[in-house]
Amino acid sequence: LPAVFTGDAAAAGSYGYTNSGYSVYEEENDRLTESLRTKVSAIKSLSIEIGTEVKNQNKMLSEMENDFDSTGGLLGATMGRLRTLSRGSQTKLLCYMMLFSLFVFFVIYWIIKLR
């Protein structure tokens, strides 16, 4: 009976039982922990790659936006010049066409008159 109450015998008996019962769970937990660690590192590297790609795409979109803005400004300026040109020179163009028509008419009249 005194051997049961001593720390050596009680500890040895419960330690052997506890060690064999918990070692299976510890090995399973270690295996699952390692699997989880592998998955987390894969997700981490994937998220870093996604972040890098997003930064590159945002940079490209920003450059495209700047190019489109400059092209839109250039096109708007060109259209404004065309509008100004068409408004101001319609009367001049009409006068030039009438003078040219009169000139052609007098040349044809003069050619017919000489025959």
In tens, the pLDDT along 22-49 reads 788 899 999 999 999 999 999 999 999 9
Q: CA 49 to CA 64: how far, in whole Å?
A: 22
Q: CA 55 to CA 33: how far, in whole Å?
A: 33
The overall pTM is greater than 0.85: no
Tell me the three state secondary structure of residue 73. helix
**pLDDT tens digits, 80-96:** 876 776 676 567 777 78
Which residues are CB-neighbours of 9 under 8 A, at least 6 positions away?
A: 3
Tell me the three state secondary structure of residue 6. coil
